[in-house]
Amino acid sequence: MMKEIACKLLVIGAGPGGYVCAIRAGQLGIDTVIVEFGKPGGTCLNVGCIPSKALIHAAEEFEKISHMASGKSLLGISIAAPSIDLEATIAWKDGIVSRLNSGVVGLLKKAGVKTVHGWAKFRDGKTVEVQTETGMQVVRAEMVVIATGSAPVELPFLPFGGAVISSTEALGLSEVPERLAVVGGGYIGLELGIAFAKLGAKVSVVEALPRVLAQYDAELTRPVVKRLTELGIEVLVNAKAKGLSSKGDALLVETGNGRNGKIAADRILVTVGRKPVVEDWGLEQIDLDMAGKFIRIDDQCRTSMRGIFAIGDVTGEPMLAHRAMAQGEMVAEIVAGHKRSWDKRSIPAICFTDPELVTAGLSPEEAKRIGGEIKVGMFPFAANGRAMTKLGEDGFVRVVARADNHLVLGIQAVGQGVSELSTAFGLALEMGARLEDIAGTIHAHPTQGEGFQEAGLKALGHALHV
């Protein structure tokens, strides 16, 4: 039986962008329906950001204890060798995901949003059909937000299945693989590769480019590369994965000099990027303008079709949950008649490797290309008291500013726990801070955040502690 409902706003996809858009629209009194095939929270909450950070934290704790058991701990703590029950760890991770899922469901209800569970397909620009468990549901809407997200890219010669896994399956393994080959040395591959190495796997990373984490500058990634060596992770750069061995127990590779080799592996984790989900939901029925494989949007997230917006990963880089959330909130307010547009100076990006990486705004190279003469201030954590007490002396904070008026253009950091500094970095850029603003703000002592102030002082030519 076909049922019909009408609403003012239809949101397709309940990932970070979609559910935030629907909640904000509901708060603003807009009659809103959200359609989701899986669990609310999307990739980020279910098989991405949240579960991976849980696994990374468990791996960090295990490695810390293992180090204490090795008799090499500088803290004077010694204990017996630990063991890990990965199934129990995964159950703990699933518990966190479940609590957050329930939270999103509760927030949507509280905002008065109607949720339809199923797969939406466009019939035309204002109508979708949703195949639900109880039959076909037709939703007619005045306005539609496409928030269908992204999915892992599959390599044709290494299709997912069996030993070949994506990040989704890696976050659900019941035991630590003895040997793990990671194809792709970007942030997802290295975050998970480092975590499994800490849990006891023998990890090899295969990267086609001349260096890993190629989207960051080499100075920033140096402490991470050093740590990979310390953890015994084998890194092959300028190397191409070619497929699975005939027995299915090894990854075939072609190294930089054109030689063929193989890496023995119980599991092969393919992390060569993500692609927008633009298939199977009727994109051909509405004929939107595309920007490459992504949906083209303007600075209000409007597509080429009137009344249809698109947000999040389906609209292109950077594919980050917090970008999708900010776009979702903005679109809800535009639908409610508020004056809003996308004018963000900074979308901070974090790589949860060991040590962590944070970038906000422009790198020194980008700033030189765009703005000409710059000042750069860098402060090493080796000169920071709090970093010393946490055994986290590797890394630094770096501030990039215009030479003429000292406007801060970019801030980067690498070090233990620097992900939490991203908030300060984003705020400084968004508020148009100058070097004098950062240098003149009293930073609490002893904290790693003092490195931010010191980097500002260094760029002005009068650092105090280095």
Say whether 7 sits in a helix, a strand or coil.
strand
Query: Which is the catalytic residue, given 57, 67, 406, 445?
Result: 445
Using a 10 angstrom Cβ sphere, with 0-12 exposed, 13-18 middle and 19 or more buried, the burial of residue 222 is middle
Write out the DSSP string of 272-319. Answer: S-EEE--SSS-HHHH---EETTEEP--TT-B-SSTTEEE-GGGG-SS-
Q: Using CA atoms, how far apart are residues 431 and 219, in angstroms rounded to an integer?
A: 27
Q: Which segments within 13-112 are labelled E, that is strand?
A: 32-36
Neighbouring C-alpha atoms within 13 Å toward the C-beta of 95: 6
* Residue 330: count of CB within 10 angstroms of its CB: 24
The CA-atom distances, in angstroms, between 116 and each of 5, 12, 280, 463 are 10, 10, 18, 57
Query: In this structure, are residues 254 and 240 in contact, taking their beta carbons and an 8 Å threshold?
Result: yes
Query: What's the distance, CA 2 to chain centroid?
Result: 39
Asked, as a colleague might, if the bond just before 51 is cis with ω within 30 of 0, I would say: no
Q: Is 114 exposed, middle or buried (0-12, 13-18, 19+ CB in 10 A)?
A: middle
Q: Which of 441, 454, 373 is nearest to 413 (CA)?
A: 454
Q: What is the residue whose two structure tokens read 């009408």?
A: 6
Let me know: does 52 contact 173? Beta carbons within 8 Å.
no
Please state, in angstroms and rounded to a whole number, the distance separating the CA atoms of residues 8 and 119. Answer: 20
Q: Please indicate whether residue 445 is annotated as part of the active site.
A: yes
d(CA 50, CA 310): 24
Q: Is the distance from CB of 303 to CB of 294 less than 8 angstroms?
A: no
> So which residues are the catalytic ones?
445
